[in-house]
Amino acid sequence: MMIFVTAALAADAWTEVSALAEHRNDRQVAEVIPDSARKAASEGKRQAGVHAPGDGGLATGWGVAVWDLPVEAVWKAINNEDQASDFLAPAHSGTVDGAAHHSGRSSFQYISAPVVTDRWWITTWTFNAELYRLTEGAMWEVSFVDNNDPAMLEGTTFHSLLADSMPIADAAGGWLVIPLSDGRTWVEYLSQADPGGNIPSGLMGKFADREVLSTFDAIEARAVYHQTAGAEGYVRPDGSELE
Residue pLDDT, tens place only, 60-70 = 999 999 999 99
- Architecture in CATH for domain 2-87+100-105+123-151+167-226: 2-Layer Sandwich (3.30)
Q: What is the pLDDT of residue 231?
A: 74
Q: What is the pLDDT of residue 56?
A: 63
- Is this structure's pTM higher than 0.85? yes
Specify which residues 192 forms β-bridges with. Answer: 172
Amino acid at 37: A
Q: What is the pLDDT of residue 102?
A: 97
Strands 165-167, 118-127: pairing is parallel
Cβ-based neighbour number of residue 202 at 10 Å: 12
Q: What is the pLDDT of residue 2?
A: 40
Q: What is the pLDDT of residue 206?
A: 47
Q: What is the pLDDT of residue 37?
A: 97
Q: Which stretches of the chain score pLDDT less than 50? A: 1-6, 200-207
Q: For residues 117 and 23, give the distance between their C-alpha atoms in angstroms, rounded to a whole number.
A: 42
Cβ-based neighbour number of residue 169 at 10 Å: 17
- What is the signed CA dihedral for 94, 116, 170, 235, rounded to 10 degrees? -20
Q: What is the pLDDT of residue 172?
A: 94
- The H or E element containing residue 218 is helix 208-226
Closest CA to 146 of 234, 58, 50: 58
Closest CA to 211 of 48, 66, 65, 54: 48
What's phi and psi for 214, nearest 5 deg? Answer: -65, -40
